[in-house]
Structure 1
């Protein structure tokens, strides 16, 4: 679940009516696309890669996380609770230098078996699951998913995400992380999963 924490820490700062996907990066077996999102000034992104591992190995890596506490470590995703066998609540907080206000995200992941070789983890905001934190903006709009598909190349991992970062942030900050954040996340995910099976 540290992989998802990367996303929550780095992607709350993405900026820009929904349109066609545009390939923004293709490197080290990772592809990242971006597009406008409905009537929002912020864009969404989609990242994909292939990993030679098992479906359960990917799910375990995405869902494992330390337990949530009021003083949990900044920048790391924490498991708040499991509402059912297939619904997980996570929390991550990220501190920023003044004058940018700190942000935190409470997200719900719902695991769905679409087919024998396809699993989807739907992501949505769950801002009311835990109390607000002082001097911290709580993300209210978050939507996306992880899609895991098994084929002859291994496991195809797709992550699509839209986040409204709340407040006001300079465009140069949001634009800078639009591709670099997801790419770093997927590179780490790919390396971690491949090392587990090596």
Structure 2
């Protein structure tokens, strides 16, 4: 479908299907302003998976339009410095994004392969997977080697949509523990908060 041919990528660094097989024991890490963030340890990884859930007073089509504006989505995705669409093919898309990191941590970049689908009840699902070799390496950036994630937008009636944003990632290189621990909470919370503000203004 045309509405699924473009996509918003994850933040800077966001699998109900992919991570669910590897993440267990989701624990509520933040519950504020209607947004809930859950974290889960991932077997064999020092980085936790994250899941953010919020209800937004906007319909699925409004949220989908915001996500289809790939360059524009960088304004509401946490830590996004740049985002662009590389390729579209049917309901699949490939996006490139640069992720801001605080000094002295080296910036990351990310190539995502996104597959979209719309279910019979109007739910839109976008499955995300890193494809680090899709384009050549970029100077002064560390390419994120692994990421699986999912956006799920479920209509709840009366113009309300439940949005879930979930990610499991290996960011590559060295990340200080304080940054890793804050990112997994800030990324889903700030992304969903900014998306909600933009959607509810429309």
**TM-score, normalised by the number of residues in structure 1:** 0.83
Name the count of aligned residue pairs: 181
Instruction: Report the counterpart of residue 70 of structure 1 in structure 2.
Output: none
- Unaligned regions of 5+ residues in structure 2, if any? 1-6, 15-21, 73-79
* Aligned counterparts of 1:28 and 1:135: Cα–Cα separation in 2: 37
Displacement after TM superposition at 1:112 (Å): 1.3
Aligned to 2:64, the other structure's residue is in SS state helix
Displacement after TM superposition at 1:148 (Å): 1.0
Displacement after TM superposition at 1:160 (Å): 0.6
Aligned pair partner of 1:135 in 133, 137, 140: 140
Q: Is the alpha carbon distance of 1:132 and 1:18 closer, same or farther for their aligned partners in structure 2, counting shifts above 3 Å?
A: same
* Aligned counterparts of 2:102 and 2:157: Cα–Cα separation in 1: 46
Q: For residues 29-52 of structure 1, give each alpha carbon's deviation from its aligned partner in whole angstroms, at most 9, with x where no partner exists.
A: 111100012321111101011112
Q: Contact conserved, 1:18 with 1:39, CA < 8 A, in 2?
A: no
Instruction: Report the counterpart of residue 66 of structure 1 in structure 2.
Output: 71
Instruction: Report the counterpart of residue 170 of structure 2 in structure 1.
Output: 164
Instruction: Report the counterpart of residue 71 of structure 1 in structure 2.
Output: none
Displacement after TM superposition at 1:114 (Å): 2.8
Aligned pair partner of 1:175 in 166, 181, 186: 181
Aligned pair partner of 2:127 in 122, 127, 139: 122
Displacement after TM superposition at 1:95 (Å): 4.8
Q: What's the C-alpha RMSD, in Å, of the aligned pairs?
A: 2.2
* Aligned counterparts of 1:117 and 1:43: Cα–Cα separation in 2: 30
- Unaligned regions of 5+ residues in structure 1, if any? 68-73
Displacement after TM superposition at 1:96 (Å): 4.0
Aligned to 1:128, the other structure's residue is in SS state coil
